[in-house]
Amino acid sequence: MSVTAAPEGPLGIVCGGGSIPFAVADAVARRGRKVVLFPLIGWADAAAVARYPHHWIHVGRLGRFCRLARAEGVRDIVFIGALVRPSLRQLRLDWKTVAAFPRIVRAYRGGDDHLLSGVGRIFEDEGFRLLGAHDVAPDILMPEGPLGRRVPTPRDEADIARGLAVLAALGGYDVGQAAVVADGHILALEAAEGTDRMLARIAELRRDGRVRAPEGVGVLVKAPKHAQDTRYDLPAVGPATIEGAARAGLAGVAIVAGAGVVAEPLRLGRAADEAGLFVVGVAQPGAAA
């Protein structure tokens, strides 16, 4: 499914935190399609939101969202941005959400994929079409090859292959999308803590002498989960990832090409150069060349 310039009404972008929602909005606007943002209260960046047509919404206000989106002529929607699993108690509920409650609770009992796709189906039943960032803004996806000047060494390549393999083994378990591998040794696997905290842990283990690989050895490997529906959740890579990888003493970052979002590839490549790291888009093992 590739939705390009053919305008089918404005695109609704439900925005979580971080800069990626705005990168998507800009990329869609460049392609000539109007966007309407639905920033989530408590998550989206208010200063950035102000540059676009928008309606603030609470996470739990499904009825309000449906009303506003229909009034704007929005049928296609994209969910994007950081959204730490909100507490059920934190949600401000409206009646439509309450009606959908049994399904949301079921979705909550599984992992993140479950949650996202369960909530996604509720929107589809309301007549919306859920698209992925890669459908509406393919130019913000991680390309294959290095973004900066540095490239992986053969040792880094071996670490990348091992990281992709272990993430593939975890694919059926709706668990993290990232691993740190140093000289063949798997140092960390991401689960509920997220990539930034996993990288902070490596930095800490290194300080405490529990990582034996020297500084400059080791790779952060990010891949989409097997079961992952890329309409809901693509791994994002930004300057914070580079900073975290640098503090963790890694050689670089490898992301499966096309399966990660990079808001500003040029800037990211420069940040990697400055930090002395590589950032490289790699093919998923088993994917057609």
**Distance of alpha carbon 252 from alpha carbon 55, whole angstroms:** 39
| 109 counts as binding a second copy under rule CB under 8 A | yes
| Pick 135 or 174: Cβ nearer a second copy | 174
| Pick 7 or 184: Cβ nearer a second copy | 184
Q: For the window 18-57, what string marks contact with a second copy as x by the rule CB under 8 A?
A: ----------------------------------------
Q: How far is the CB of 69 from a second copy (least distance, A)?
A: 27
**Distance of alpha carbon 171 from alpha carbon 224, whole angstroms:** 8
| Pick 171 or 239: Cβ nearer a second copy | 171
Q: How far is the CB of 179 from a second copy (least distance, A)?
A: 8
Q: Which stretch binds a second copy (CB under 8 A): 44-52, 70-78, 109-117, 245-253?
A: 109-117
Q: For the window 78-107, what string marks contact with a second copy as x by the rule CB under 8 A?
A: ------xx-xx-------------------
| Pick 81 or 148: Cβ nearer a second copy | 81
**Distance of alpha carbon 252 from alpha carbon 279, whole angstroms:** 6
Q: How far is the CB of 261 from a second copy (least distance, A)?
A: 21
**Distance of alpha carbon 50 from alpha carbon 107, whole angstroms:** 32
182 three-state secondary structure: strand
| Pick 125 or 204: Cβ nearer a second copy | 204
- Any idea of the CA torsion for 92, 16, 228, 191, to the nearest 10 degrees? -90
The CA–CA distances, whole Å, from 246 to 35, 36, 200, 220, 273 equal: 36, 36, 10, 10, 11
| 73 counts as binding a second copy under rule CB under 8 A | no
Q: How far is the CB of 195 from a second copy (least distance, A)?
A: 13
Q: How far is the CB of 41 from a second copy (least distance, A)?
A: 16
Q: Are 159 and 218 in contact (CB under 8 A)?
A: yes
Q: Are 67 and 126 in contact (CB under 8 A)?
A: no
| Residues 163-222 close enough to bind a second copy by CB under 8 A | 165-166, 169-170, 172-176, 180, 183-189, 191-194, 197, 201, 205, 209-212
Q: Are 13 and 137 in contact (CB under 8 A)?
A: no
Q: Which residue, 214, 205, 212, is CA-closest to 251?
A: 214
Q: What is the CA angle 14-74-115, rounded to 5?
A: 35
| Pick 126 or 183: Cβ nearer a second copy | 183
Tokens matching residue 122: 């509720």
Q: How far is the CB of 32 from a second copy (least distance, A)?
A: 39
What is the sign, positive or negative, of the torsion defined by CA atoms of 225, 221, 137, 23? positive
Residue 164 corresponds to which amino acid?
Answer: L
Residues that bind a second copy (CB under 8 A): 84-85, 87-88, 108-112, 162, 165-166, 169-170, 172-176, 180, 183-189, 191-194, 197, 201, 205, 209-212
